[in-house]
């Protein structure tokens, strides 16, 4: 008798059509997301390109390579059309924060990966852009939700105890990164 084995791609297709969510439990200061259930999902829309992403990217302890490739492309520097391997840890932080806020609204992504050239151009225009930003390492995103305040978003991200969280109230976005645990307000 031949045993049937389902591929990760097959699982991704099967789960992509469903609204499966898993209740995350947040662990240690090293930023390891533990006990998040069998499935992790990310849902976002890009402010700059109008592209959307709504996908399960992790199943039963494994990142789905095809999903991660799509996330890498989504998080690209749209000005330079440059794609890098984006931080899976930051995707985990964003997904876990989103789940904590109990909303189905996709994140509006204002900025993901930035090439060094793009970051330098933005830093020259705005004194608030760090020269050695986690954006240029593919480890940061600036996000907005119309259904949640920056205070609520920052609180959810801080609860993950897994990276940097910056609340930019006047600009109405929250910065999340997978660098050291820290937080700030501007």
Q: pLDDT tens-digit profile of 46-71?
A: 999 999 999 999 998 999 999 999 99
Say if 24 falls within a structural domain: yes
Angle at 181 between CA 179 and CA 184, to 5 degrees: 100
Say if 33 falls within a structural domain: yes
Placement of tokens 């209740």 in the chain: 23
CATH of the domain at 33: 3.30.1380.10
E-strand stretches of 4-100:
25-26, 33-34, 39-46, 52-59, 62-63
Percent of residues, the chain, with pLDDT higher than 90? 72
- Taking the model in full, what pTM does it have? 0.79
- Count structural domains, the chain: 1
Say if 57 falls within a structural domain: yes
pLDDT at 45 over 80: yes
What does the pLDDT read at residue 168? 95
Say if 178 falls within a structural domain: yes
Residue closest to 162 by CA, chosen among 26, 21, 9 = 26
pLDDT at 26 over 90: no
Say if 1 falls within a structural domain: no
Identify whether the C-beta of residue 120 lies closer than 8 Å to the C-beta of residue 126: no
What does the pLDDT read at residue 70? 97
Say if 3 falls within a structural domain: no
User: Residue 174 sits in which domain range?
Assistant: 8-185
Q: How far apart are CA 101 and CA 85, in angstroms?
A: 27
């Amino acid at each position: 008798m031949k045993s049937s084995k389902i591929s990760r791609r097959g699982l991704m297709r099967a789960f992509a059509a469903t609204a499966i969510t898993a209740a995350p439990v947040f662990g240690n200061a090293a930023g390891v997301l533990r006990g998040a259930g069998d499935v992790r999902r990310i849902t976002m829309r890009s402010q700059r390109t109008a592209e959307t992403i709504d996908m399960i990217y992790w199943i039963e302890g494994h990142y789905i390579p095809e999903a991660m490739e799509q996330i890498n492309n989504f998080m690209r520097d749209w000005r330079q059309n440059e794609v890098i391997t984006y931080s899976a840890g930051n995707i985990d932080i964003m997904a876990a924060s989103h789940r904590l806020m109990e909303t189905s609204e996709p994140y509006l992504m204002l900025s993901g990966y930035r090439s060094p050239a793009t970051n330098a151009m933005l830093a020259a225009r705005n004194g608030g852009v760090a020269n050695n930003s986690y954006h240029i390492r593919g480890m940061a995103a600036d996000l907005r939700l119309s259904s949640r305040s920056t205070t609520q978003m920052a609180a959810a991200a801080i609860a993950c105890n897994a990276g940097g969280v910056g609340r930019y109230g006047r600009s109405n976005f929250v910065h999340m990164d997978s660098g050291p645990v820290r937080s700030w307000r501007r």
